[in-house]
Amino acid sequence: MKKLLIIAAALVISLSCLLGTDIVIRYKLNANIDKATYDNNIYTRNCSDYAMERIIDEHSIVVLGSSELHSSDDLAYPAALFNRGYSDFNMVMMGAGSLQSLPQAINVGALANNIKNKKVVLIVSPQWFSSGGVQDKAFCSRFEETNYVEFLQNDDISDETKAAVVARVNTLLEADPPTLKRAIKYEAMYLKHTLNPVTYVEMLSYNAFRNAKLRYTLVKEFKDLAPLDTDRYVRAEEIDFDALLQQAEETGLASCTTNDFGVNDEYYNEYVRDALETSKNSNIYASYAVSLEYDDLRLFLRVCSETGIEPLIVSTPLNGRWYDYTGFPIADRNTYYQNIRNICAEFSVAMVDFSEKEYELYFLKDIMHLGWKGWAYLDRAVYSFYKGETIEDTTTYQDLFGNGNVALSDGVTETGERAYTFTTGANENSFNNFYVRLDHDQTRLDAWDSVGHRAGVYLHTQPSGIYTVRFRANGNVVDEYIDLAVYLEENAVYRVNYSVDFFSTEQIRVSDIGFSKVEY
């Protein structure tokens, strides 16, 4: 009995010490929280409900993304532009390489109640959309368990959506069995409600410990962050985004002196130079057209919808010059971009479509990450989204379609302004698909066998002159087409667009056909 009393007393004293320590830790965290607005550490700050609740306010937008968020740029990168948080508007960035739609769906579900203005931005990268989606080892290495628990505890998310996320998570966590074991317990605890009381208490204690551990780690991390520069308070309204873009272009120009891809010298020398020969046409069979990631993106949007979060999807481009060099099919790239547009339309969410900036130099800083101009464009778009204003697109398009330079083959009839019908004759012809082809360099800009809107850009690398752009209904006996004779300038960028309103093997109806010169 006496020993039991001693043990009980020891436990009470220990618990008091722990509680006291935690109070001190929270106090220290609060004292340093202002420095952490741009401390995008996925293993600590982003997992801490305690920290994020204090960091996100009504004047900040949560920006979710992947590796581009780990950037360093003294100009337009948000941490630099908004003076690390000493500003009347901030972006709370959360992301790292391989943090794709699924983990970001979990993050939104976990943080939804902390996002005061109910708006988030998701920067979507094409590289996410390989056929298998996020890799299991990558997912495990970035898995934010604390946020996963918060996600499962969010009552606004339906059981159906939670079950879909849980199924994906459990599959991916097979590469990390101990974590999978806990994930299954969380599922039983919060979704199926079948966990036995002993394990329930065990998991509650474990989570309380995890949160305390996070706070302790954060205290050390925040303490080491540099103090804010309080000599310069940034008012976002006073930022001249046009001047910022001009500066971004100058910085990009000075940073890319060794190649024509618009890749910064440091990256080019480290990764590209030695791989240049082997990379030529190395991607001719690559594709982002079909991927598990599309369904993960839908899950992200479902979580946003159920938690009342308004998302802005940012579709970032590939580096067109580099991907052309590696032979990645333009048609496939355009299919990917259109897939993203279609998913946004499916969920009626806003998007910023940067896909047509594939060939804008310095939009990216290497072959895949946002660069000097990319950040400047993004800053402006996110700030407009925050204010509820229309997001400005400064790209201009010079229309080149029409004016007597269009010729129709047999079987094609003009049914309205920029609207045409392709009809098979009595020769047992049958349409397979519809696409746009540039015969002078054997390039297909797209290829489809279904209805929908298509758009894409193309860099003309041939000498300047008059060329034929063919909008072709591909038949198994004979093709039917619209030929556009147009003067193309060397190294200029052109945009093609059209909508297939009806598709069958006998008839294709197309409208809204356009071909324009693009000026960034």
Binding site residues, other proteins, CB under 8 A: 2-3, 6-7, 9-11, 13-14, 17-18, 67, 96-98, 135, 137-138, 140-141, 143, 175-179, 209, 212-213, 216-217, 267, 271-272, 275, 366-367
124 and 68 in contact (C-beta within 8 Å)? no
Query: 433 with 448: CB under 8 angstroms?
Result: yes
- Structural element, H or E, at residue 153: helix 145-153
Q: 459 and 505 in contact (C-beta within 8 Å)?
A: no
288/336 Cα distance (integer angstroms)? 6
Q: Scanning the structure block, which residue is given the tokens 């204690």?
A: 205
Give the nearest distance from C-beta 286 to other proteins in angstroms.
Answer: 14
- The least CB distance from residue 493 to other proteins, in Å, is 25
Nearer to other proteins, 70 or 440 (CB): 70
Backbone phi, psi, residue 479, to 5° = -85, 150
- Between 311 and 374, whose beta carbon lies closer to other proteins? 374
| Nearest CB to other proteins, comparing residues 177 and 388 | 177
C-beta neighbour count of 403 within 10 angstroms? 8
In the complex with other proteins, the residue whose CB is nearer, 11 or 24, is: 11
How many whole angstroms separate alpha carbon 131 and alpha carbon 62? 28
Min separation Cβ 96 and other proteins, Å: 8
4/226 with CB nearer other proteins = 4
Q: CA-CA distance, 35 to 47, in Å (whole number)?
A: 17
- Comparing CB distances to other proteins, the nearer of 175 and 289 is 175
Alpha-carbon gap, residue 100 to 134, rounded angstroms: 7
CB 98 within 8 A of CB 135: yes
Q: Torsions phi, psi of 315, nearest 5?
A: -95, 110
Minimal distance in Å, beta carbon 138 to other proteins?
5
The single residue listed with the structure tokens 């969380």 is: 186
Per the CB < 8 A criterion, the answer to whether 422 and 431 are in contact is: yes
We find the least distance from the C-beta atom of residue 67 to other proteins, in angstroms, to be 7
| β-pair partners for 459 | 493
**Nearest distance in Å: CB 95, other proteins:** 12
**140/350 with CB nearer other proteins:** 140
CB 40 within 8 A of CB 71: no
Considering the complex, what minimum distance in angstroms separates the CB of residue 196 from other proteins? 24
Shortest Å, Cβ 97 to other proteins: 4
CA atoms within 13 A on the CB side of 466: 6
SS (H, E, C) 99-139: CCHHHHHHHHHHHHHHCCCCEEEEEECHHHHCCCCCCHHHH
Residue type, 503: F
Q: State which residue, 140 or 228, has the beta carbon closest to other proteins.
A: 140
Least distance from other proteins to the Cβ atom of residue 84, Å: 25
Residues 334, 225 contacting (CB under 8 angstroms): no
Provide the minimum distance between the beta carbon of 474 and other proteins in the complex, in angstroms, as a whole number: 36
The smaller minimum CB distance to other proteins, of residues 1 and 226, is found at 1
Specify the residue, 178 or 416, whose C-beta has the smaller distance to other proteins: 178
